[in-house]
Amino acid sequence: MTSARSTRNGTPGEGVSRSASARAPERGIPEATIARLPVYLRALITLSERGIATCSSEELATAAGVNSAKLRKDLSYLGSYGTRGVGYDVEYLRYQIAREIGVTQDWPVVIVGIGNLGHALANYSGFSSRGFRIVALLDSDPARLGEKLGDMRIRGFDEIETLVEELDIAIGVIATPAVSAQDVCDRLVAAGVTSILNFAPTVLNVPAGVDVRKVDLSIELQILAYHEQRKALAFDGAVDIVEPPVDPRVVESA
Amino acid sequence: MTSARSTRNGTPGEGVSRSASARAPERGIPEATIARLPVYLRALITLSERGIATCSSEELATAAGVNSAKLRKDLSYLGSYGTRGVGYDVEYLRYQIAREIGVTQDWPVVIVGIGNLGHALANYSGFSSRGFRIVALLDSDPARLGEKLGDMRIRGFDEIETLVEELDIAIGVIATPAVSAQDVCDRLVAAGVTSILNFAPTVLNVPAGVDVRKVDLSIELQILAYHEQRKALAFDGAVDIVEPPVDPRVVESA
DNA sequence: AGGAGTTTGTGAACGTGAGAACAAACTGAG
DNA sequence: CTCAGTTTGTTCTCACGTTCACAAACTCCT
Ligand SMILES: NC(=O)c1ccc[n+]([C@@H]2O[C@H](COP(=O)([O-])OP(=O)(O)OC[C@H]3O[C@@H](n4cnc5c(N)ncnc54)[C@H](O)[C@@H]3O)[C@@H](O)[C@H]2O)c1
Ligand SMILES: NC(=O)c1ccc[n+]([C@@H]2O[C@H](COP(=O)([O-])OP(=O)(O)OC[C@H]3O[C@@H](n4cnc5c(N)ncnc54)[C@H](O)[C@@H]3O)[C@@H](O)[C@H]2O)c1
């Protein structure tokens, strides 16, 4: 499983090579925080594009849609990049977050399964501006091979091993039907891919050391449906279904 | 804001109309549990399709990719639908979860922004089998109007108010560019939509009572990139970057 | 310089979620 | 009926995440 360890694109310089000296803020950042860093990064980019050079935690928090205390605590895990009484330098903080996430350089990405969804992803320009470069489009359907999409061509899934090695690909996107997803996943992992974004509605089994994230639209809709149903019920019949049960003391007289 | 309260499709009968008597298990189900119920539902459907009539919490948990204790606790919020010493009846539990989520009937859904992504969503057959029916495709680009997609036609965004009312639509999907997303959102909410699934990379502001969930692919990739970077660093330079900081006492001699 | 006004970074309180562990409830065999 | 074996539902504990609240650190004005 140690095929593609190479050097990858390790963030250069910037004091990580020390073993255990000076201040070392980058110990363990909570998952919940990591999931929000990209949101902060995006908010900072927006502010930057508007020509704003400095912002307070309050402003940034509003732009990111979170509580300002949470934002400050999140940022404090990265280090102390603000100035009390002033706020944060937008460009500086933007760079620090990008560096922490690891998107100061581009990550090469392969997409497997160029059907409905795969086409949309391949045509999407938003990835390249956010630290990713789609470098390969793979499909197993012979009818699709050779089809051009932008400046790329759909290639056979069999090329996966060669491509992963040659292009040093660490991240793969699965957009095949659910039945093929586990097979594709196994093959990706065997080829050396260690991070997978899965669009197929299946649970993927992967060995330790491989990260999987899933994007499941049906689940998102079902979560919305649950809450929607509750709202409807709150109007219709039982009123006290959302609110706390209202202390009986209040109605003692009746 | 109370335009579209109507009766919606409130789950019929099934003992929810009582005010406060008997056992009332459906008080407050944790968000984390709700997010997993759709996963369990999908696992049950798979088991059902394989002709399996009964399963233990252990088997279902494996199929859903979670810990069995967590699964049992999650299910216990819905009620007591298993049999000790035996397990769960697949069909029965499947129905109970579907009912709890609110997908025993179909929810009508509108998609706004029929570009790359919108086309993929509109062509996707997986929604209809999971409790949702796409009933309208809207776009503001005159060039797209009238285009046929399956058995549906793209209509102008201006029809939103009429459609929401006539078709009793509660759930909307936003697949427009980020710049338009907030406008579209405001208009959807004003028309009576109370649940929104947002694909545009923006934070949406909505009034209380409206639920928003976002699907942000760049964020997912960036989270993967973060972990990927850590893996790479663990090989390269600092080895103890993942492990706890190793007390300085150890190196006291130097 | 000093003091008023801002805003960060963080300690401490609180709430939510995960997992281990076990009693209660069932089955089936003898 | 009893007993061994199985599996659920629940309790308890710990870890994680959120929010409050405030001292520390800065700016700017007088
Ligand atoms: N289209 C959507 O909007 C949407 C929404 C939610 C989920 N999904 C999920 O995303 C996945 C893709 O959806 P889609 O609509 O693009 O499906 P699709 O059928 O249009 O495309 C699937 C593609 O994968 C290819 N493929 C199949 N097996 C393969 C294999 N073993 N190796 C490589 N390629 C293989 C097929 O040739 C096809 O081109 C599905 O799992 C679907 O459930 C799609
Ligand atoms: N395509 C992808 O794979 C992908 C991936 C991640 C995120 N996204 C996001 O999803 C959204 C859609 O992406 P896309 O690639 O389909 O873009 P697109 O440009 O292909 O399509 C956008 C569509 O929205 C329509 N539109 C614009 N303004 C509108 C308005 N005010 N009302 C109604 N319709 C309007 C446009 O006419 C167009 O048809 C974007 O926000 C994008 O960032 C897309």
Give the one of B34, B124, B236 whose C-beta lies nearest to A7's C-beta: B236
- B87, closest nucleotide (Cα–C1'): D7
pLDDT of A22 strictly over 70: no
CA of B83 to C1' of C27 (A): 10
Whether B219 has a pLDDT exceeding 60, the answer reads yes
Q: Return the pLDDT at B234.
A: 73
- pLDDT for the residue A27: 62
Higher pLDDT, A6 or A81: A81
Mutate to test the interface with B, among A228, A235, A247 (most CBs of B within 10 A): A228
Is A244 or A77 the better-scoring residue by pLDDT? A77
Task: Convert the pLDDT of each residue in A146-196 to its tens digit.
Answer: 999 989 999 999 999 999 999 999 999 999 999 999 999 999 999 999 999
Q: What is the dihedral of CA B5, A238, A240, A228, to 10 degrees?
A: -40
Question: Among the listed ranges A8-12, A75-79, B225-229, which one has the minimum average pLDDT value?
Answer: A8-12
Reported confidence tier of residue A246, pLDDT bands at 50, 70, 90: very low
pLDDT at B20: 32
Q: Taken in order A168, A185, B118, A103, is the CA torsion positive or negative? A: negative
Number of other residues whose CB lies within 10 A of the CB of residue A204: 20
Q: Is the pLDDT of residue A240 over 60?
A: no
Q: How far apart are CA A182 and CA B65, in angstroms?
A: 13
Calculate the average pLDDT of chain A: 86
What pLDDT score does B212 carry? Answer: 98
Q: Predicted confidence band at B18 (pLDDT cuts at 50, 70, 90)?
A: very low
| Distance (Å, whole) CA A229 – CA B140 | 30
Q: Which of A183, A199, A202, A204 gets mutated to test ligand 1 (max ligand atoms within 8 A of its CB)?
A: A199
Q: Determine the residue of chain B that is closest to A226 in CA distance.
A: B101
CA–C1' distance A79–C8 (Å)? 12
Tell which atom from ligand 2 comes closest to the C-alpha of A122. Answer: 3
Q: Which band of pLDDT confidence, cut at 50, 70 and 90, is reported for residue B238?
A: low
Mean pLDDT of B58-82: 97
C-beta B157 within 6 A of ligand 2: yes
Q: For residue A25, which nucleotide's C1' is closest to its Cα?
A: C9
Does ligand 1 lie within 6 Å of residue A58's CB atom? no
CB A204 within 8 A of CB A182: yes
Q: How confident is the model at residue B88 (pLDDT cuts 50, 70, 90)?
A: very high
Least confident of A25-34, A126-135, B209-218: A25-34
Mean pLDDT throughout B235-242?
A: 52
What does the pLDDT read at residue A86?
A: 96
For residue A12, is pLDDT > 50? no
How far apart are the C-alpha atoms of A229 and B119, rounded to whole Å? Answer: 28
- For A63-114, write each residue's pLDDT tens digit: 999 999 999 999 999 999 999 999 999 999 999 999 999 999 999 999 999 9
> Is pLDDT above 90 for A118?
yes
- B53-76: average pLDDT: 97
Residue B91 confidence class, pLDDT cut points 50, 70, 90: very high
pLDDT at A4: 39
| Domains, chain A, ordered by start | 31-101 (1.10.10.10), 107-216 (3.40.50.720)
Closest nucleotide to A76: CA versus each C1': C9
**Least confident range of A1-10, A16-25, A41-50, A232-241:** A16-25
By CB neighbour count within 10 A (0-12 exposed, 13-18 middle, 19+ buried), where does A32 fall?
Answer: exposed
Nearest to A19 among B43, B103, B240 (CB): B240
Within 7 Å of a protein beta carbon, the nucleotides of strand C are 5-11, 16-21, 24-27
pLDDT tens, residue by residue, B167-208: 999 999 999 999 999 999 999 999 999 999 999 999 999 999
Ligand lying closest to the C-alpha of residue A183: 1
The upper half-sphere exposure of residue A156, i.e. CA atoms within 13 Å in the direction of its Cβ, equals 5
Query: What is the model's pTM?
Result: 0.88
Backbone angles phi, psi at A82, to 5 degrees: -105, 175
- What is the pLDDT at residue A238? 53
Q: Residue B235 above 60 pLDDT?
A: yes
Nearest Cα residue in chain A from B13: A237
What residues are paired with A195 via a beta bridge? Answer: A171, A211
Residue B115 CA: which ligand is closest? Answer: 2
Cα gap B215→B210, rounded to integer Å? 17
Task: From chain B, pick out residues whose CB is under 8 angstroms from the CB of A228.
Answer: 8, 102, 107, 170-171, 194-195, 211
Residue A54 has pLDDT above 90, yes or no: yes
Question: Is ligand 2 within 6 A of the CB of residue B48?
Answer: no
